Structure 1
Amino acid sequence: MVYSLVSMKGSLIILAFFAVGVLSGLWDIIPSDLLKDEWNTYVLYVLMFFVGITIGYDRELLLSLKRVNLNIVLVPLGTIVGTLLGTLILSLVMQDWSASESMAVGSGFGYYSLSSIFITQYKGVALGTIALMSNLMRELIALLTAPLSRRWFGPLAPISVAGATSMDTALPIITQYAGKNYVVIAIVHGIIVDLSVPFLVTFFCYL
């Protein structure tokens, strides 16, 4: 319970910063001239750089990949296919956004910072904001529903629901409810899903 509260606190802080940004734009606190530059592109470059550092620096993550059974790869593949299929079905009832745009949002897999920057750059602020909120909600849902998803669908369910966050913010809650035996699966799942985000988001944005 303590782990979920701590992780949820971090997500709420992110949400608070987003709200401050919206208010700053509404009240013209930041000069509009600064926003005309391609600052989001540079932020994206820096973010991708730190993602690479995080994966490369953590030796335990790399060792986990070496010890892994290839069957474990089926878990992230199931998450990716299931998420994309779900967003494709949802796009049928949404008139404002196309199937490719809906799938681009779903391709964030809970990685709200990276996916929202990509989508804002390629598709505009409106869809980028939707990506931020939907992927942030995915993380919150993963943290809050881990006990129920474990009980109803088995130990792999909390991992799949967490998406890209299964290797970091959601890992403590996954460990608590799925068990320590699933830690390596959660880490590998997070790495693979995490790495798929920039490729899939870009792909669906260009469709």
Structure 2
Amino acid sequence: MYSGLLIVLLPIFIGYLIKLKQRKLLDFINKLLGLFVYIILFFMGISLAQLDDLGGNLQSIMIYSGVFFACTFGCNFIALMVFDVIRPWKESNNAEALPSTLKMILESLQICISLVAGFLVGLLPLPFFEYASKVIEVALIILLFIVGIQLRSSGMTIKQILLNKIGLMTTVIVAITALIGGTIAAVILDLPVKTGLAVSSGFGWYSLSGILLTEAHGPILGSTAFFNDLLRELFAVLLIPSLIRRYRMTTLGLCGATSMDFTLPILQKGGGVSMVPPAIVQGFLLSLLVPILMTLFLHI
């Protein structure tokens, strides 16, 4: 367990020691991160194509993903709505017109192209496929190192994180209820509870959750984690326009770890600048929790 946790956390820690201020370097790091996400997903697709009984396994992935998403996202939604009703978060805001929902969905779905492309290539009898797992492992270490740099360069201090009550509250609610949902899903699917906890602790970070589960339990559960977290992002984008005016805490919480990056501009436009600090805090904390919790649950 400790060696697995060290492999995941060490690259993040080393990256966190590096703080970049130059805009050009930060832009380059962001592009590099995107590149490694695509590379990893491509090789995940290759691994998926190598499975025996491919048709049956694809059906299992669809069922697993659907059950996990319904349980984790559903538990998040119910708990967040309850807190929104009991303690509504209403602030004056300078809301702007939201970007096209269809455009945001298409941008989110673009990442599936690498997975599908890798899957199609994996159907060919090429000799380098035996190195797919090694490529994923090396790319994961580099990706985590880059994530560490991003977290340090986000500008958030420990004081700012601890003083933002909304961001802390949504983080706790999302983490706890997602794990409850993962436990329920594991019982429904007759999987070990620790596996259910691992799948549900991705919190929307589809690239990392899919990779870690693929490394530990193979491409079926890896793809399940990937699609579970991708569905969170897609549904968050769909629900933001209808929820953000009245249920701000719910809207923020449903975005999960993506509130610090992909969904942040949508949250800001729909809810005003007051949405930004808690969104960054929530995304920051959940991004830190993902590798820690997943590694723990995968190795206990």
* TM norm structure 2: 0.62
Q: Does 1:10 align with 2:107?
A: yes
1:40: which partner in 2?
A: 136
2:201: which partner in 1?
A: 107
* Higher deviation after alignment, 44-53 or 81-90: 81-90
2:90: which partner in 1?
A: none
* Contact 1:155/1:177 (8 A) holds in 2: no
Q: Does 1:54 align with 2:166?
A: no
Q: Does 1:174 align with 2:270?
A: no
Match of 1:23 among 106, 114, 120: 120
Q: Report the AA paired with residue 187 of structure 2.
A: L
Q: Report the AA paired with residue 25 of structure 1.
A: G
Q: Report the AA paired with residue 284 of structure 2.
A: I
Q: Quote the Cα distance in structure 2 between the aligned partners of 1:147 and 1:130.
A: 27
2:210: which partner in 1?
A: 116
Q: Does 1:90 align with 2:207?
A: no
1:79: which partner in 2?
A: 174
Q: Report the AA paired with residue 15 of structure 1.
A: C
Q: How many pairs are equivalent?
A: 201
Cα deviation 1:19-40 (Å, max 9, x = unaligned): 11111112235632333x6222
Q: Quote the Cα distance in structure 2 between the aligned partners of 1:51 and 1:6.
A: 26
Question: How far 1:171 moved relative to its partner?
Answer: 0.8
Percentage of identical aligned residues: 32
Q: Quote the Cα distance in structure 2 between the aligned partners of 1:164 and 1:12.
A: 17
Q: Quote the Cα distance in structure 2 between the aligned partners of 1:177 and 1:105.
A: 30
1:141: which partner in 2?
A: 235
> Where do residues 150-165 of structure 1 align in structure 2 (5 Å cutoff)?
150=244, 154-165=247-258
Q: Report the AA paired with residue 177 of structure 1.
A: G
Greater length-normalized contact order (CA 8 Å, ≥ 6 residues apart): 2
Question: How far 1:174 moved relative to its partner?
Answer: 1.5
**Structure 2 stretches lacking a partner, 5+ long:** 1-97
* 1:32–1:150 CA distance, 2 compared to 1 (3 A): same
Q: Quote the Cα distance in structure 1 between the aligned partners of 2:275 and 2:234.
A: 20
Q: Quote the Cα distance in structure 1 between the aligned partners of 2:298 and 2:224.
A: 14
Q: Quote the Cα distance in structure 1 between the aligned partners of 2:184 and 2:146.
A: 34
* Contact 2:140/2:211 (8 A) holds in 1: yes
Give SS of 1:20's match.
helix
Question: How far 1:194 moved relative to its partner?
Answer: 0.6
* Contact 1:156/1:178 (8 A) holds in 2: no
Question: How far 1:58 moved relative to its partner?
Answer: 2.9
* TM norm structure 1: 0.88
Q: Report the AA paired with residue 78 of structure 1.
A: I
The structure that has the greater radius of gyration is: 2
Q: CA RMSD in A?
A: 2.0
